[in-house]
Amino acid sequence: LTSRKTALRGRLLWFDADPAVSAKAARFIEDGIVVAENGVITEVGEAAPILKRLSGDVVVSDHRPHLILPGFIDPHLHMPQTQVIGSYGAELMEWLAKYTFPEESRYGDPAVAQEAAVFLVDELLRCGTTTAAVYCTTHPESVDAFFTEAERRHLRMIAGKVMMDRNAPPALLDTAETGYAQSKALIAKWHGRGRLAYAISPRFAPTSSEAQLTATGVLASEHPDLHIQTHLSENHGEIAFVRELFPWSKDYTEVYERHGLVREKALFGHCLHLSERERTALGDRDASAIFCPTSNLFLGSGLFDLAAIRGAGIRVGLATDIGGGTSYSMLQTAAEAYKVLAMNGQTLTAYDAFHMMTAGNAHALGLEERIGRLASGFDADMVVLDSGATPALRRRMARAETLPEELFVLMTMGDDRSVVATYAAGRRVHERQGLASPSISP
Ligand code: GUN
Ligand code: FE
């Protein structure tokens, strides 16, 4: 195996991993270089001294004057919902029944799943997202399709087969037994292959019987290092339904707690209407709450209380939730997060937002040692951003005097058009059309 050494030059920006200590500590190098070998970052620093040391056969991709950041991370989205986005006029439970479940029923067909997987991976890379936590459908074929595509592009991806055995159309249901067995087989097949990781994925409490939740708890206990992903406390109708279905439970969170599903690397989508007790339970067990602003606004679900979630010591992620969510772009997602928080008397600085999209989301996924930073030993997954991608951005940027101001305008007005290139494991996996070749030798 020959070693592949590559280097990127540009304006480097990243954040240190520990959000308690340095969430706000931006690291910025105006003219910097990232060197990667065999998919891993080996050196980060000022361009001049690194250029002197680099041997002549290393190609430097010169992205000046663009920003180079760790690839964006999207910790909650649904592969089978790329054709559900923008479905009109319903709140969560009606939206699921009317649009989402019928669409997901198509994914037992491997050709349907494969076509969607290719589209999704392309679109994520076009938006600068290099890692995502992905819900597939009940059908194991949908997981095979997604992981096959992720593996082909050498990506770090997390995904799982949705388990649901009630309150949905028959074509989408598994059983406590088949849900367990199919998940088990998919774990054996995919988990740890390349950079792929399997997530145990009970859809949410309303679509799982007690028997299925029990089997899921057994699966989770047999695989203590795996991610778990599900939905929690998104919508008032959903919460009332959970109260009906699980009369023994004092709240929604206890349904998951009782089955051993609240733990480290358990990702709870939404968490909008939690009680103090529920937040304490999530924080005590080091679980993660995933904020999905475009989805929460689109489905009229509610406003995420970032201050309360952080106050309880819960790890926080920021995600698109395609297709309840309406944009694949983490920049647009951050812009909507700012607006949600503004409605709630809270704020999100540009540094906080860009930290969330990178190191913060890595922390929410328990991957803070692997991705989300430009640092030696980290995966060489990066996004190159053009702050002046559109006439409107260029006009506004002419008045941006500081880096935080530039970043705030970039997230407010930017989107996929701002993504010049995306790198995964040191390879260029997306390039904006019309980009002049950026490759020069040092
Ligand atoms: N709760 C259970 N399933 C879903 C889903 O697919 N999308 C959203 N937004 N919430 C859910
Ligand atoms: Fe979701």
Indicate whether 116 pLDDT > 50. Answer: yes
- List the single range of 10-14, 18-22, 270-274, 421-425 with lowest mean pLDDT: 18-22
Average pLDDT over every residue of 393-409: 97
SS3 281: helix
CA of 210 to the centre of ligand 1 (A): 19
| Residue-averaged pLDDT of the chain | 95
Q: What percent of the chain has pLDDT over 70?
A: 95
Average pLDDT over every residue of 396-423: 98
Indicate whether 3 pLDDT > 80. Answer: no
11 falls in which pLDDT band (50, 70, 90)? very high
Average pLDDT over every residue of 113-127: 98
Q: What is the distance between the alpha carbons of residues 207 and 420, in angstroms, rounded to a whole number? A: 41
Indicate whether 22 pLDDT > 60. Answer: no
Indicate whether 402 pLDDT > 90. Answer: yes
Residue type, 234: E
What are the residues whose beta carbons fall under 8 Å from the beta carbon of 35, sequence distance 6 or more? 5, 6, 7, 41, 42, 43, 44, 50, 54, 58
Is ipTM strictly over 0.95?
yes
Q: pLDDT tens digit string along 150-172?
A: 999 999 999 999 999 999 999 99
What are the residues whose beta carbons fall under 8 Å from the beta carbon of 399, sequence distance 6 or more? none
Q: pLDDT tens digit string along 320-361?
A: 999 999 999 999 999 999 999 999 999 999 999 999 999 999
pTM above 0.90, yes or no: yes
Measured from the Cα of 204, ligand 1's closest atom is: 2
Indicate whether 208 pLDDT > 50. Answer: yes
CA of 173 to the centre of ligand 1 (A): 15
Which has the closest alpha carbon to 33: 17, 49, 15, 16?
49
Average pLDDT over every residue of 390-415: 98
What are the residues whose beta carbons fall under 8 Å from the beta carbon of 345, sequence distance 6 or more? none
Residue 372 in contact with residue 359, Cβ under 8 Å? yes
CA of 400 to the centre of ligand 1 (A): 38
Distances (CA, A) of 336 to 201, 215, 329, 332: 26, 37, 11, 6
Which residue's C-alpha comes closest to atom 8 of ligand 1? 324
Indicate whether 364 pLDDT > 90. Answer: yes
Indicate whether 119 pLDDT > 50. Answer: yes
Indicate whether 393 pLDDT > 60. Answer: yes
pLDDT of the residue at 442 = 40
What are the residues whose beta carbons fall under 8 Å from the beta carbon of 387, sequence distance 6 or more? 66, 67, 393, 397, 400, 406, 409, 410, 414, 418
1 falls in which pLDDT band (50, 70, 90)? very low
Q: pLDDT tens digit string along 215-233?
A: 999 999 999 999 999 999 9
Average pLDDT over every residue of 62-77: 98
pLDDT of the residue at 57 = 83
> Helices 140-152 and 110-126 meet at what angle, rounded to 10?
40
Indicate whether 72 pLDDT > 60. Answer: yes
Indicate whether 441 pLDDT > 80. Answer: no
Residues with beta carbon inside 6 Å of ligand 1? Answer: 78, 92, 96, 100, 203-204, 231, 234, 295, 321, 324
pLDDT of the residue at 4 = 80
Q: pLDDT tens digit string along 304-319?
A: 999 999 999 999 999 9
Which residue's C-alpha comes closest to atom 9 of ligand 1? 324
16 falls in which pLDDT band (50, 70, 90)? confident
CA of 150 to the centre of ligand 2 (A): 20
Residue 160 in contact with residue 229, Cβ under 8 Å? yes
pLDDT of the residue at 89 = 97
